[in-house]
Each structure stands twice: as C-alpha cells, then as structure tokens.
Amino acid sequence: MLIRVGNLYKIYEEGHQSEVTALRGISLDMAHGEFVALMGPSGSGKSTLSNIIGCLDRPSKGTCFLEEVDTGRLSDADLSVIRNRKIGFIFQGFNLVSSLSAIKNVELPLLYARQKKEIRTKVATDLLESLGLAHRLHHLPTELSGGEQQRVSIARALSMNPSLLVADEPTGNLDSQSGLEVMKIFNQLNQKGTTILMVTHDPQIASYARRIVRFKDGQIDSDR
Amino acid sequence: MLGITIGVIAVIATGTIASIGRTIIFNELETFGLNSIWVYRSSTQEKPGESYKKGTGLKISDLEVIRENIHAVGDVTPVSSRTAWVKNQNKFTKINLLGTDGNYAVINNDSMVEGRFLVPEDLYLGQKVCVIGPEVSRKLFSTASPLGQEIEIENHAYKVIGLLREKGRDFLSAIGAGDGQDSNQRIIIPLNVWQSQFNNDDIDFIQAQAKTLDQVEEASSQILNLLHFIKKGQFTYQAETMKQYIETADRILDTVSWIGALTALISLVVGGVGIMNIMISSVMERTREIGIRKAVGATNTDILFQFVTESAMISLLGGLAGCFLGTLVVLSVEFLIDKPLAVSWPHVFLALFVSALVGILSGYYPARRASRLDPVVALRHD
C-alpha cells in the first residue's frame, strides 16, 4: 500500500476560541497505480488532506504512512527530502518561479537533489519535449499560456520520478480545452503506472479518476 | 548598497593616501638626513637670570669635544645663520646666509648640480667663496651658470663655487620645522668668514648626525649633557631630532587612517542596514516563491543559504563599485598632486572582504525568517 491514513485529525488554533477542525478522524488507503479524486465543497477538508499526504503539512492527531513511513513524525529536513524525491505537486495557480525559465523551473527539484548539470538539463529537456514544449524551453512563465504553464508544472512534478503526483485543482485556472489536455496527460501518466491524487470540485474532471472520495465537514462522505 | 560603496571608497582612498603619504613624507625627510640632531640655546627652558646673557655660548671648540667624547655621533657641523641681501649687477634678492663647514652637505644630504661644496681649505684659508641654492641662482643669473661668478653679500664680494640641487620641503614647511627657511634660498659660506663679516664668534646651532637611527635619542641626550657640563650651567640647550618630525608625520597619517576607518565603519553599518531592509522586502515579495521551492524539496538550509548568498552578492557589488570609484579617486589625487600613487591592494582586498561580510551578516536575519516560513502558508500568499 502506498498511502495509509489512520484516524487523522487536523485542528487549527487548538485551544483558542478560533479553533477549527478541518479533518475529523479520516482513514483512507491508496495503492500504487491508483487515480483518486478528492471531491467536496469548499472547506470540506480535501485540500487539507492532500497537503498532509503530500508532506506539506503535518497532522494534529492520527497517522499518515507513505511507503510504510509515518510522515507525521519526521523532521522538517526529512519532509523536504520526501517532497523532493517521492512527491510531485501540481497546483491550481501553476506556482512556477517567475524569474526562472521553463527548463530552469523543471530542473529545480533536481537542483535541490544535488544532481549534476548535465543530468538536470537532459531530464528537464526530455520531459518538456514529451509534453510538447520543446520550443518553449527558455521562455519565462509570463511568456507562456496557462495551459503551457501547467504542462511545465507537470514536467517539474515528474522530474524526480516520484511515487505520487498530488494535483490540487489542476484545471481550475485553465480554459476547458487546456483543461482537457491536462487530464489527457494525467490519463496517459496513470496508464503508465503513475499514482495520482487529485483534488477537484468539478465532477467532469473528477470523472477521469477511477475512484472518487467525497468529503463533507472534514469527514469522508463516500468512497467509490 | 550606497553605504557599502562609500565605505569601500573611504577605505581605499584613505588607506592608499596614508601609505603613500608615509612614503612621500619619508622620502622628503630622508633628503634632509634622518639621523640629524639640531642643538641650540633654549629660550623656553633657561634658568632664571640666564636671559640677559648674550649669544649662544657655542664655540667651534665644542664640536671637537663632542666628536671625541660621544661615540654615537658620526659627523658634527657648526651653523650660524641670518638673512641677508645678495646682489648681482642690478639684481637683488633676500637669502638665508649660512656659515658652516664641509660636513654640512654630508649631514644634510645636500648634493651639487654644478661645482663643489666647501672643503677644509676654504675655511683654513678664509676664502670668500660661496655655494648658492637653485632659487637664488634663478633670481640672480636666470638660466645661466653661476659658477665662477662674483656676487655681493651685504657689500662683501664672494665667488660662486657651487650650485646646490633643489630640495622639496612641503611637509617640513607645513609643520613649521627645522630652520623654517626655504633650503633652495640659501647661500653657504665658510663659518670663519661669516663670523668675521658679522663680528660674532658664537655659533647659532650645532647639527650632528647619529651613526644609526637607533642611536639618535642617545646621541641627542649625551650632547646636551656634555654641553651643560662644559658650560658649567651658564647656558641651557635643547635638541631637536628628525625622528620627532617622523613621529609627527606618523601621528598625522594615523589620524587620517582613523578618520578613514571611522567613515568606512559608519558607511558600512548604514549600508548593512540598507541591505537588511532590501532583503526583508525581498523575502516578503518572494514568500510564494519560497513556498514553491520548499514544496519541490528545498530544505530550510537551502533557503537560508540562497538568501544569505544573494545578500552577500548585493553587498559585494556595492563593494566592487566602491573599489572602482575608489581607484578613480586615487588616480584623480595622483593627477592633482602630480606624484605617483599606487592603490594599496591590501586595503582593496580588506574592503571587499568586509563588504561581503556585511552582506552576510545583514542578510542573515531576513534569510532565517525566509527559511522558517511554513510552505502551506507561503503558497497561499499573493
């Protein structure tokens, strides 16, 4: 099992008047090669869970195992390593570094993994070419369309050959055409064996996944 | 960043000026003989009742006593001086007339452009011969050679046997040292001739040369003790050494250095604060970027290192600008004073090192704040 979430809680401002419980006792398993969509209204906890699974955040209570390692107990430095090697993030707002070119953005995880320049360049170039961006290698994000930026983001997420892709509203800032292109790419990746965890509020986008977990008020409502 | 630039300019300019100043002043002092000691009757330290005594009490015989008894002394020469009018045909000029012997040129590092200096025969025979300074020659003979010419000094005729080389005395004049006269405006005649022309067998002062620089203080106090002993307390004498002028020069240059260092320090602190502000703004503006970098695997240390390096780079850039402008300042001063200057490289490297250090120190606090940002919070930032 790739991911095992056990009785997970996430509480903000614990002990204060403004205390908010975003996740209440979530339990969830995810196997290698799955394509899972987390759905639910705004504030239901789906992004909170994907952040914890993606090691961007820690649980307040409960466990979250990634490849048999309890990530909730790891140090900041260890979490950084896991984010670098095991997780690939794709965000709604693309989140590319605006001062770096497309290829430099894709090389970023490789840079933090201390890979040599030749390897970084080759991996990044190959990925961008496979996503149809061979002619955009040295463009800045401001010189790219939304769809192109998201594809750069996907290339960056894939650069370290991660165990899991975490995509939070990947088509939220794209027109329907570009959105479909991105979902096609996700399909292809999943067919090749890439595990994908996707957060979305759009049922059409969610239908690309093979399993939909619905959230409501910090708890799992359904899981099919 | 401007503070860094100014600080670096201050360091380079004052460092160079101080070290070159030392060389220039030393070179000037060296032309006057670094081991020199001037001994003269004291006007400030005399005992009660002494002031009515006329003259200096110094005689030619005192020199022989000094030579024989004080081993730290190399050469000694007697000097009497006064201002006088000199005339050649229809040209007049006022000069400083010195009566002395052949040792004078050796002790004072005087050299000749033409002719020769005084020799013992001139004194022995009481010859009315003279050696003139370059400014005197220019005024009396313009560009023609003065050798062999006759001039009138206070209505007495003298033959010119030598022309002295020019000597700079910018520093010594500036601190009011030595005999206070322009050495290029001298005429030198044999002491006994001077004494008979002006009817005065006292010597104004004795100039001695210590054998080595280390022996100057010792020789100076020994001469004074000897003279006070010989004169049986009738007169009080004091001595001045070239060393004192060297120490004065050092004090002045040290002050220049301190002022430069203080300016540099203040500028660098101001610059450092400026850079810290730049970096704090930079971190705030790039909060999202920091979140992205952390999301793709940057550790807290990676972020800290990135921002400290950026800060050091900005500071170093200011430092390089300062080096460039500082060098221009030195070159301008070199052009203005018409003397060769060399940029003091140790000061350049010190300045660059310090500017990088300032960058690292002032960037550390903002960089630490950046490294501690929560990635989820940072990613939500605008």
For B38-75, the pLDDT digits (tens) are: 898 887 766 666 666 777 888 888 888 888 888 888 88
Residue A124's pLDDT is 95
Residue B174's pLDDT is 61
Give the minimum alpha-carbon distance from A164 to chain B in angstroms, rounded to a whole number.
13
List chain B residues with CB under 8 Å of A112.
293, 296-299, 302
Where is pLDDT greater, at B181 or B130? B130
Q: Residue B178 pLDDT more than 70?
A: no
C-alpha A97/C-alpha B278 separation (Å) is 20
- Report CB contact under 8 Å: B296, A56: no
Residue B26's pLDDT is 75
Tell me which range, A112-121, B89-98, B120-129, is most confidently predicted by mean pLDDT.
A112-121
pLDDT in tens, B103-155: 998 888 888 999 999 999 988 888 899 999 998 898 888 888 999 999 999 88
Give the minimum alpha-carbon distance from A68 to chain B in angstroms, rounded to a whole number.
20
* Candidates A57, A91, A112; nearest CB to B297: A112
8-state DSSP, B147: T
* Candidates A83, A99, A160; nearest CB to B295: A83
Which residues of chain A approach chain B closer than 8 Å at the C-beta? 51, 56-57, 76-77, 80-81, 83-85, 89, 91, 95-99, 108-109, 112-113, 156, 160
- Residue B323's pLDDT band (cuts 50, 70, 90): confident
Per-residue pLDDT averaged across B276-286, rounded?
Answer: 91
Q: For residue A16, with 0-12 CB atoms within 10 Å meaning exposed, 13-18 middle and 19 or more buried, which class applies?
A: exposed
Q: How many other β-carbons are positioned within 10 Å of the β-carbon of residue A115?
A: 17
In chain A, what are the helix, strand and coil shares in percent, each to the nearest 5?
40, 25, 35
- The mean pLDDT of chain B is 85
- Report CB contact under 8 Å: A77, B299: yes
Give the minimum alpha-carbon distance from B316 to chain A in angstroms, rounded to a whole number.
22
Q: Give the Å distances, CA to CA, from A62 to A40, A58, A78, A95, B66.
A: 22, 10, 19, 30, 102
Fold classification of A34-55+75-223 (topology level): Rossmann fold (3.40.50)
Three-state SS across B338-362?
CCCCCCCHHHHHHHHHHHHHHHHHH
- Report CB contact under 8 Å: A80, B293: no
C-alpha A54/C-alpha A36 separation (Å) is 14
Residue B129's pLDDT is 93
- Report CB contact under 8 Å: A109, B297: yes
Q: Can you spell out the DSSP letters for B78-112?
A: EEEEEEEEEEETTEEEEEEEEEE-THHHHHTT--E
Which string of b and e fits B347-376 if b means at least 16 CB within 10 Å? bbebbbebbbbbbbbbbbebbebbbebebb
Report the percentage of chain B scoring pLDDT > 70.
Answer: 92
Per domain, the residue ranges of chain A are 34-55+75-223
Residue A218's pLDDT is 87
Q: What is the ipTM of this complex?
A: 0.92
Q: Taking the model in full, what pTM does it have?
A: 0.70
- Residue B327's pLDDT band (cuts 50, 70, 90): confident
Coil, strand or helix at A63? strand
Helix (H), strand (E) at residue B37: strand B36-41
